[in-house]
Amino acid sequence: MNVTQEFEPLYRAAQALDLRGDMGEAALVTITRTHGSTFRRAGASMLVHRDGRLVCELSGGCPQRDIVLRAQQAMEADEPAVVAYGRESNYDVMIETGCGGELEVLIEPWREPDDVRFLHAIEALRVQRVPGVMASLFATDGQAVARRPSRIVQSPGNRWTNIIHSALEQQILAHLTQVATLPGHAMTTRLHHAGEHHDVLLERLQPPHALVVIGDGIGASMLARLSYQLGWHTTLVGTRETASPVDDGVHYVVATPLTLTNAVTLDSLTSVVVMTHRLERDLAYVAPLMAAPVRYIGVIGSRQRAEQIQAAFPGDERLHAPAGLDVGSETPQEIALAIAAEILATRNGRSGGPLIHSQAPIHP
């Protein structure tokens, strides 16, 4: 169901739909299979409105224009579809877009509230910040499942499903154990049940990455703004009561070093950047972070200040002082970009160097 930072705009768009059952308001397009070089992976989704507006575009390298037309046709006919783009079908579209790979998409029209109930189940996991898995049975014997896919959304201790055949549900659940070992975030597998072949998309569901920015200056505001634009759950922590404006979507709290751990969520999917511009205050805020399970702790400052901070907390690889990639940043906006890029590289296990010098896959 997309990378985690794309889910929120898609979910907001789904909530705004007027699903009264009389006509298709939108269609969800999901990539179910890929082969070779494609711009997006299996599991990536795009919402197509009846009037052609798009949410979470699949972007270049995919036959997006043709997919949008087919999604509008599916809404008119109120019929889901599975469409392949490759050497066996629609190859001219792939050549036209310059895509060297092949892919398959599921198009599911939405016109009833039941069509989007699985999104509410995913959102519940995100609010709780717990990982989960989802299985979508979308085709039987090569044809799209009528009305809507049959799905399971599961996390430890919770399960939502609209599958009515218990034996088939149990077989799908057995395959969901594969998701933890997926090389990527999603894969399609084929199950055999009651003489039929079922195609099931298996996906990992991860809570959204969170960034906590501690500071009162323009640099902290710039980083919080960029974080929100990246789709990260963002909290700006002020060190004193202030009337500084905060962008919509950025949570704002005031916390001291002693109250920090109670004021914000600090888990393994959270990064923290300390930007108070005072050494003693930086040290005071970093201290409680050392006992928290956060993955990244960044502190801005000069080389001299960074050395003092590193000396105060030696041997912890999570500590990045000075924070940010070496891109020659000067302005608050450029510094925010350098820090966000380092956080992203750290999350994905990358060095942050030029792609031209890397032999690793471009997409993690």
Interval 304-342: pLDDT, tens: 999 999 999 999 999 999 999 999 999 999 999 999 999
The whole-number pLDDT of residue 102 equals 85
Start-to-end C-alpha separation, the chain:
16
The answer on pLDDT for 150 being more than 80 is: yes
Share of the chain above pLDDT 70, in %: 90
pLDDT of residue 193: 87
Range with the largest mean pLDDT of 78-92, 215-229, 242-256: 215-229
d(CA 161, CA 104): 24
pLDDT at residue 38, as a whole number: 77
> What residue type is assigned to position 271 of the chain?
S
Amino acid at 41: R
What integer is the mean pLDDT of 267-281?
95
Average pLDDT over residues 222-247: 85
Alpha-carbon torsion (274, 278, 284, 286), positive or negative: positive
Q: Which long-range contacts (CB under 8 A, 24 or more apart) does 228-233 make?
A: 230/5, 230/340, 230/344, 231/4, 231/5, 231/6, 231/8, 231/9, 232/5, 232/208, 233/208, 233/209
Q: How confident is the model at residue 215, as a pLDDT? A: 94
Q: How many CB atoms lie within 10 A of CB 261?
A: 14
Q: Which helix (H) or strand (E) holds 203?
A: strand 196-205
The whole-number pLDDT of residue 329 equals 93
Q: What are phi and psi of 85, to 5 degrees?
A: -125, 110
| Residue-level pLDDT at 260 | 97
Q: What integer best gives the mean pLDDT of the chain?
A: 89
**271, 277, 270, 266: which is closest to 219 by C-alpha?**
277
Q: Quick check: helix, strand or coil at residue 110?
A: strand
CATH fold of the domain at 210-347 = Rossmann fold (3.40.50)
From the CB of residue 5, how many other CB atoms can be counted at a distance below 10 Å?
Answer: 15
**In the prediction, which pLDDT does 58 show?**
85
Residue 98 is predicted with a pLDDT of 54
At 85 the pLDDT is: 87
Strand-strand pairing, 26-35 and 102-110: antiparallel
Cβ–Cβ < 8 Å for 282, 301: yes
Which has more pLDDT, 240 or 141?
Answer: 141
| Rounded CA Rg of the chain | 23
Average pLDDT over residues 180-194: 79
What pLDDT is recorded for position 62?
65
Q: What is the pLDDT of residues 27-65, one digit of tens each?
A: 999 999 988 877 788 899 999 999 999 999 987 556 888
pLDDT grade, residue 138 (50/70/90)?
A: very high
Residues of the chain with CATH 3.40.50.720: 210-347
Residues 6+ apart with CB under 8 A from 353: none
Least confident of 81-90, 124-133, 174-183, 232-241: 174-183
